[in-house]
Structure 1
Amino acid sequence: MTDAVDTSEDGAAGHEGLDARSRILTDLADVDGHLGFIEGLLARHELSASERAWVEAEVARVRQRQADPCVTMAVVGEFSAGKSSFINALLREELFETDAVQGTTAAATIISPGPERVLRVHGRAGDEGEVVAGPAGRDEIARELAARTSGAGMRGRYLGLEHPSDFLASGVRIIDTPGTNSLSQWHDAVTRRAILELADACIVLTPAVEPLSQTLRGFLRDNLADQLPSCVFVLTKIDLVRPRERARVEAYARRVLADEFGLPDARVLAYCSLPEQEGYADGNRDAEAAILGLLRERRIQLQVTRCVALLERILLALRARMRQTADDRRRERERLEEATCEDVDEFVSERRAGLLHEFQDRVDGGRRHLLAELDELAASVREEAERGLDACANQTQVRAYLSQGLVDRLARWQKRALARLDDGRGELAEAETVRAATRDARAAFEREFLAQYRTLAALGRELAIPVDVASGLDDTKTAEVVTDGGLAEEAARSEVADTNRFVGSIAGGAAAGAAIGSAVPGVGTLIGAAAGGLVGFMGWSSASSDPTRVRKLRDAVRDSVRAATTAYLDAFGRAVTQGYLAYANQAWRALDQLMADYRSVYGRAVALMRERDRAEQRRVERELEELQADGRLVERRMEELRRIRERLLEL
C-alpha cells in the first residue's frame, strides 16, 4: 500500500487567486493529499458506525475549513476579563451581557458575517441549527442571547449568530467562549472544544489591572501550547490603568510571555471596551486594525495550520482504532491457533497410546489382585493336600488317596475357589476392573474428542458412536464375555473331563504316575511317573498298617503329591489369569475399534474444519499485516504533519 496523493486538476485549481506565499503554504501542507490518505484508510479498514461517522464528519470539517473564506477567531479569557464587552465593541453594538457575574457566558457563540441579525441554536458543529430569533432587531437578539448563553440548558450545544458588522465583513468569524476559570468545569470544556475544533486563531483577553493571572497561565499551558505563537494578547480595561503605568503593564505582559511561554515577539495590544470613554477610540481602532491585519495576512497560514491540526486529530483517532483492531486480530489469531483442531489420525494415535498405557496399568492392577487371591487360595489347598496324606493310616488309604482322594480334594477346592472368585452373578469378579477401565477409557476418549472437535457438534453432528454399532462395550456384552467364553464354565468342563480321565486310568506303578500326570491339569508326566514309580517300588499291600512302613510310604510320595498339587494350582491359576487377560484383550480390541470408527466417521469433516481454520488464520494474518503496514504509514504521516506544523509556525 502506498500513500494516496491528490494529483487532480481540481487540487491545482484551488491555488488560483492565491499569492505566492499562500501557494507555498498550501503546497507545504498538502491537505488534499492527507485527506486522500485518510479516505483510503477508511476504505480499507473496518470501523464501527459511530467511529466511521466521526471520521467522515472530521474529514468534511477539514474540507469545509479549506473552502471557508473566513478566519475563525476564538475570544478566550477568564470570567470578568471583558470578553463580552470586547465583542460588543468589535460589533459596534451592545448585544452580549456584560454583568460582572461569574458565568455570564455559559455556552459558546459563533458570530459570523451575514446581511441581518439571525440567531440559531446548534446541536453540533456543521448542522444548520434552529432559528430562535431573526431576522430581528438588536433588542430581541440581545434578550435571546442573554437567556440562552447563561444557563446549563445549553450544555452540549452552541449558538450561531449572523451579524452585519463591518469587522466580520472583513472575513472574520468570532467565537465567544465561557470564562476559563469558571466554577463550572464544563465551561472550561466548552472553551477547550472551541479552541481545538473550531478556531483558527485565538485572541487572549487579560485585564490590564491583573495581566496574565496564574490561573490563566495554567489554562494557556494546558490548552493553547501549540497555538500560542499565533495568538494575539489583548489588555482589556486599559482605561482602569493610569496613563503613565500603561507602558509598564504592557512590558510586564510581554516579559511573562517571553520568559514563561517562549514568545519574545508576542503581539500585545491594549483595548478599551467602553464606547463612552473618550480618548481611546484611536487606540481601539489601531488594535482592531492590527488584529484584522494579522488575520488577513495569515489567513491561509492559520487555516492551513488548523487543517493540519485537524488532520493530526483524525490520524490520532485512526491510529488508536487501528492499534485496537490489531490487538483484536492478534487475540483472534491466538484463539484460532488454540482452537484449530488436530488431525484425526494424529489425535487418535496419540490418545490411543495414552489410553492403552492407562488401560494396561489398571488391567495389571486387577491381575495382581487376582494373583494375590489365587496365592491365598493355593496356600489353603496345599495344607489340605498335606493333611489328607497325613491322615492315611495304612497303605490302602495312601493308595486310595493317590487314586481318588487327592483328586476329590482338588475338585472341592476348585469349586470353593471359583465361588470365591465369582461376583455372585456367575462372572469373574475381577472382570469388573476391566469393565471399569474400559468405560473410563471410552469416556475419556469421547470427552477429549468432543473438546477437540466441538465445532462438529455446532454443525449438528452427533459426537457419539452407538455402542452396538461400534464397540460392544456396554455392561451386557461385557458380561457375555465371561459367561459365554468365560473361565468358570471352561474350568468346570476341564474338571469333569480330567477327573473322569484320572479315575478311569488308575493301574499302578509308573503307569499310574503317568495317569496322574495326564489327569491333573498341568501336573506333567514326569512328576506323575516319579510318584507312581515310588508306589510301584514299595509295592501295594492293602493289609499293611505298620506305622513305620506307612510313614515311609507317605514320605516317599509326599514330594510327588506336593508337586502334583502345585502343578494343578499353577494350571488353574494360568487358566484363570489367561481368561482374565483374554477378556481384557477383547475389551481393548473393542475400544480400538471404537477409536477407529471415530477416525473413519469424522475424518473428512475434521479435514474440512482444519482447512477452514487455516483459511481463517491466513485471513487474520493478512489483515494483521495490512494493519501493521498501514500503522507504519500513519506514523510516518503523523511525523510529517508534525514537521509541517512546526514549519508553518516558523513562516
Structure 2
Amino acid sequence: MLKSTFAIEYHEKLQALTCCDEHLDFIEKIVSSNLVVQADKLTILNQVKKIKNRSLDPNFYLAVVGEFSSGKSSFINALLRDELLKTSALVTTAVATEIRFGKHLVLKTILNLNGKEWKLKTFENSKLITITALNIQKITIRELIHLLTSDNHLTAKINNLTISHPANFLKEGTVIIDTPGTNAINVEHGTITKQTIADIADAAVIIIPATTPLSQSLANFLDTSLRPFLHRCIFVVTKMDNIRKRERESLVEDLKNRLTTMLGLDNPDLLPISSQVVLDQLTLDEESEISSEEQIWLNRFQDLENFLSQKLRSERIIIIAENLLRLLTNILEQLEINLTQEWQTYEDRQLALKNNIIQDLGYFTSEHKNKYRSEIEQAIQQTQNQLNSKILEYQEQKKQQIKREILTITDWDELKVFTENGAESILGGGQPLLQRIIETQINDLNNKHQKAQENFLQEFSQEYKKLEALGNTLNVSNHITSQALAQDTGQIFSEMKELHTQQENEAAGRVMTGIAVGIIGSILIPGVGALLGGIIGASVSRWLGPSLEERKNDLWFKLEPSLNSYFQDLKKQIQNEITTHGYQLINSLEEHIDLYMNKYKSVVDIMLLEQQEELNRLNELQINTETYLKEIARRKKQIEQQKTRLI
C-alpha cells in the first residue's frame, strides 16, 4: 500500500511517534485470548484493521464541508487551479465525491439505474462522451462532471464518484472529499458528511462565507454532528474580497469569538481567503499585472495550502493515536465488564445452588424415611386390626354353621359322615372368602405403601425439578472440563427419569395377593384336618356311651374350644405375616428413597465440582485480566502523552 519514499518515511515517523503496530499487535494478542467474548472479537478486529489500513494509507484525506452558496465548490476549484466543479449549483450529490491525483482528468462512478449498478469510467483521451442509458450525447468529461454533480435527475442515481486530477495540490497524496451540502433538505446528506469526517478524513475544512458568517444552521450542524471532530477542523472564511477592508479584521475577530462561544473552541484555526481571486488568475494572460490586493489574497491562499498539508499529516498521527486510545479504552471497559459479568454469573449460580439444592441430604433422607415408616407402621396396625375384626366375624360365622350342622344330624351314620367330611368341608369351603378378606386388607396395605412411595416421589420431584433447571444453567461452554461434567449431569438426569419410570412399573406389576395365598395354604387346610381328626374320632361310636343327642352336644362341647384355638393361631400367624410383609414394604420404600437420594447426590456433587472448576477458571481469568488492564492503562498513558506533545 505504501508507494512513495515520502509515504514510507512518513509511516516510519508515525510508528516512532505512536508505536502503532506494536499497540495493534498487543490488542490482537488480547483478542486471541479467552478474555474477550466471541461477540466482541470481530468488532475489535475490524477496528484494528481500519487503524492498520489508515496507518499504511499513503493518501491524506481533506474533507470540505459547507452549506449551499457558501463558496465550497469555488474553494475546491481554487485548490485544483481549475474550474472543475460547477458553482452555485442548487443540488449536490448524495455521496461524498473524492478528487485525487492523476496525470489525466478521469472520472469513475457507480450509477444505480433501474435497480442495477452500472460502473462508468472515462479514458485518459476521452473527448466526447455518449451514455445512452442516461440520454447523454457527445459531451466532454468536464461537462459530464458538471452534470453528475449538479443535475437533479442524475445526482440521485450516483452511488460513488471519484475524479482523478493532475493538480499540484494533490501530488503528494492529498485527496479532497467534497461532502454533500449540510443544509440540504435530505437529512442523509448530514449523516454522510459526519461519517466521512469520522471514518475517512484526516482533517476538514469548514467553509464559512464572509457574507453570512456562521449561520445558525451551520453552527447547529457543527455542534450536534461534528463536535467530537472539531479539533481537527480548519475554519476557512471565503469571499473575504467582498468585504470592505476596514471591516475585515473585526469580522474575523467576531467570528472567532462566536466559534469560541457557540462551540467551545479554544483558539480555533480561522483563515480568511478569497477563492475567486485565485480562480481569476487562471484567465489572465502572462502580461497582465497582479494588484497588491490580489497578491495578498494569493499569498494567503498559498499559506493556507501549506498549512493544510502540514495539518493533514499531523492530524493523521493524532487520529491514529486517538483511534488507538479509543480502541484501548473500549477493550479496557469491555474486559472489566466481561470480568464483572463472569463473577456475577458465578455468584448467581452459587446462590441458585444454595437456594435450590437440599443442603443436608442426610437429614432430608432420614426425615422422609421416618415419616413414611411411621405412615406404613400405622397402616400395618390398621390392617391387623381390620383383619382381626374380619377373622372374628368369619370365625363366628363358621362356628355357628358347624354347630347347626352337628345339631341337625338325626342318626349315627349321618354323624359319622359329617365328622369325616362335613366339618372340614365347611371350613375348607370358606377358604375363598377368607382369602378375599386377607387379600382385600393386604391390597389396602400395599396401596398405602404405593401411596407413600408416590408422595415421596412427588416431594422428591419438586427438588429434582429445581436441580434439573439448575443443570441447564450451570454449564461453562468455553471450559472443556465443565463441558464433560455437564454431559455427565445430563446423563444422570436422564437416568433419574428412567429410574422413576422403572420404579413405577415395578410397583404396578407387583403381585399383591401372594401373602394371602401363602397364609391360607399353610394354615387353613392342614390345621382343620388335624383338629377334627383328634376330636371327632372317639365321639362317633354308636356302641359306646350316651345317646346320639348327648354325643352331638359332647362333640360340640369339645370342638368349640379347639376351633377358637385354631382361629387364634390363625390370627396370630396372619398378624406375623402382615408385620413381616409390612416391614418388607418399609425396607423397599427406604431402599427406594436411598436409590433416589444417591442419584440426587451424584448430580449435586458434579454441579459443585463444576462450580469449583468455574471458580478456578475465574481466579485465573481475574489474574490475567488484571495484568492486561494494567498494561492497557500504561499504554493509554503513553499514547496520551504522545498525543499531547503532537497537539
1: CA distance between counterparts of 2:438 and 2:217? 97
For 2:507 and 2:108, the matched residues in 1 are separated by 85
Match in the other structure for 1:185: 187
Structure 1 distance, partners of 2:589, 2:525, is: 32
Alignment of 1:482-521 (within 5 A): 482-483=513-514, 486-491=515-520, 493-497=522-526
3-state SS in 2 of match to 1:430? helix
Q: Which position in structure 1 is the counterpart of 2:572?
A: 571
Is 1:630 the counterpart of 2:640 in the alignment?
Answer: no
For 2:141, the aligned partner's letter is: E
2:369–2:590 CA contact under 8 A, matched in 1: no
Q: Is the Cα contact below 8 Å between 1:473 and 1:587 reproduced in 2?
A: no
Report the equivalent of 2:487. 455
- 2 CA distance for matches of 1:14 and 1:372? 111
**Structure 2 residues without counterparts, runs of 5 or longer:** 112-117, 128-139, 282-289, 354-358, 405-423, 472-484, 537-548, 551-556
- Count residues with an aligned counterpart: 559
Which residue of the partner structure matches residue 222 of structure 1? 224
The DSSP-based 3-state class of the residue aligned with 2:69 is coil
Aligned equivalents of 2:385 and 2:222: distance in 1? 93
Partner of 1:151: 155
Q: Which residue of 2 aligns with 1:206?
A: 208
Superposed CA RMSD in Å reads 6.2
Measure the CA separation in 1 of the matches of 2:166 and 2:203.
21
> In 1, are the aligned partners of 2:372 and 2:452 still within 8 Å (CA)?
yes
SS of the residue corresponding to residue 422 of structure 1 reads helix
Select which of 83, 104, 107 maps to 1:119: 107
Distance 1:597 1:329, change over 3 A: closer
| Structure 1 residue 215 displacement after superposition | 2.6
Change (3 A) 1:248 1:590: closer
Whichever residue aligns with residue 70 of structure 2, its letter is A
1:289 aligned to 2:302?
yes
**Aligned with 2:46 (options 47, 54, 63):** 54
How far 1:132 moved relative to its partner? 1.8
Alignment partner of 1:301 out of 314, 317, 330: 314
SS at structure 2 position matched to 1:104:
coil
| 1:86 and 2:101 correspond | no
1:256 CA drift (Å): 0.6
Q: Which AA in structure 2 matches 1:312?
A: L
Task: State the Cα deviation string for residues 171-199 of structure 1 (Å, max 9, x = none).
Answer: 64322111223222322222112211222
CA distance, structure 2, for counterparts of residue 318 and residue 117 of structure 1: 45
* Residue 465 of structure 2 corresponds to residue 420 of structure 1: no
Contact 2:428 2:524 in 1 (8 A): yes
1:37 corresponds to which residue?
26
User: Tell me, what secondary structure is at the counterpart of 2:175?
Assistant: strand
Counterpart of 2:227 in 1: which secondary structure? coil
Aligned to 1:431: 446
Q: Tell me how far 1:159 sits from its aligned partner.
A: 3.4
1:304: Cα distance to partner?
A: 1.4
Flag the 1:496–1:472 CA change in 2: closer, same or farther, 3 A: farther
- C-alpha offsets along residues 554-581 of structure 1, whole Å, 9 cap, x if unaligned? 9xxxxx99x9899779736623531431
For residues 191 and 598 of structure 1, do their structure 2 counterparts lie closer, same or farther at Cα, with a shift above 3 Å needed? Answer: closer
Q: 1:643 to 1:334 in 2, by over 3 A?
A: same
Contact 1:202 1:231 in 2 (8 A): yes
Q: Aligned with 2:275: secondary structure?
A: coil
Deviations 1:359-403 (A, max 9, x none): 546635643653563476478679989999xx9xxxxxxxxxxxx
Q: Is 1:196 matched up with 2:228?
A: no
**What's the CA shift for 1:231?**
2.8
Q: Match of 2:545?
A: none
Q: TM-score, normalised by structure 1?
A: 0.64
Query: 1:163: how far off?
Result: 1.9
CA distance in 2: counterparts of 1:284 and 1:570, whole angstroms = 131
> What amino acid is aligned across from residue 213 of structure 2 in structure 1?
P
Give 2:137's aligned residue. none
Contact kept? 1:326, 1:628, Cα under 8 Å: no
The answer for the alignment partner of 1:96 in structure 2 is 85
Are the equivalent residues in 2 in contact too, given 1:456–1:463 (CA < 8 A)? no
Shift of 1:226: 4.6
Q: Which amino acid aligns with 2:324?
A: L
**Preserved CA contact (<8 Å) 2:66 2:206:** yes
User: Does the 8 A contact of 2:95 with 2:179 survive in 1?
Assistant: yes
TM-score (norm 2): 0.65
> What does residue 646 of structure 2 align with?
648
Superposed CA offset, 1:152-183 (max 9, x none):
4445xx43333222333366432211122322
Partners of 2:571 and 2:368 in 1: how far apart? 31
Does the 8 A contact of 1:96 with 1:146 survive in 2? no
- 1:135 aligned residue (124, 135, 140): 124
Paired residue for 1:312?
325
Contact 1:206 1:212 in 2 (8 A): yes
Alignment-mate amino acid for residue 52 of structure 2: A
Structure-2 separation of matches of 1:466 and 1:303: 68
CA displacement, residues 58-108 of structure 1 (integer Å, 9 cap, x when unaligned): 13224215xx3x54322122233221121012212122232342x414211
1:329–1:624 Cα contact (<8 Å) kept: no
Q: Distance in 1 between matches of 2:593 and 2:64?
A: 85
Partners of 2:54 and 2:182 in 1: how far apart?
A: 26
* Maintained 8 Å contact 1:336/1:617: no
User: Which residue of structure 1 lines up, in the alignment, with residue 541 of structure 2?
Assistant: none
Compute the displacement of 1:637 (Å).
Answer: 3.7
Q: What is the DSSP-based 3-state SS (H/G/I as helix, E as strand, rest coil) of the residue aligned with 1:269?
A: strand
The 8 Å contact of residues 382 and 565 in structure 1, kept in 2 or not, is answered as: no
1:252-401 equivalent positions in 2, closer than 5 A:
252-274=254-276, 275-276=279-280, 281-298=294-311, 300-315=313-328, 318=331, 322=335, 356=369, 360=373, 363-364=376-377, 366-367=379-380, 370-371=383-384, 373-374=386-387, 377=390
State the partner residue of 1:587: 588
Q: Evaluate the alpha carbon distance shift between residue 636 and residue 159 of structure 1 in structure 2; reply closer, same or farther with a 3 A threshold.
A: farther
Q: Distance in 1 between matches of 2:371 and 2:156?
A: 75
Distance 2:574 2:492 in 1: 51
Given that residues 93 and 156 in structure 2 are in contact (C-alpha distance below 8 angstroms), is that contact kept between their aligned partners in structure 1?
A: no
1:251 aligned onto 2:267? no
Percentage of pairs with the same residue = 21
When residues 352 and 413 of structure 1 are mapped into structure 2, their CA distance, relative to the original with a 3 A threshold, is: farther
CA distance in 2, matches of 1:232, 1:248: 19
How far residue 308 of structure 1 moved from its aligned partner, in angstroms, is 1.0
In structure 1, C-alpha distance between the alignment counterparts of 2:429 and 2:591, rounded to whole Å:
36
Native 8 Å contact 2:213 2:255 kept in 1: yes
Distance 1:571 1:249, change over 3 A: same
In structure 2, what is the Cα distance between the partners aligned to 1:176 and 1:106?
A: 11
> What letter is aligned with 1:578?
T
Contact 1:180 1:187 in 2 (8 A): yes
Q: Is the 8 A contact 2:376 2:586 kept in 1?
A: no
Provide the secondary structure at the position in 2 that maps to 1:112.
strand
Q: Report what 1:400 is aligned to.
A: none
Say yes or no: does 1:478 pair with 2:510.
yes
Aligned AA (1:64): L
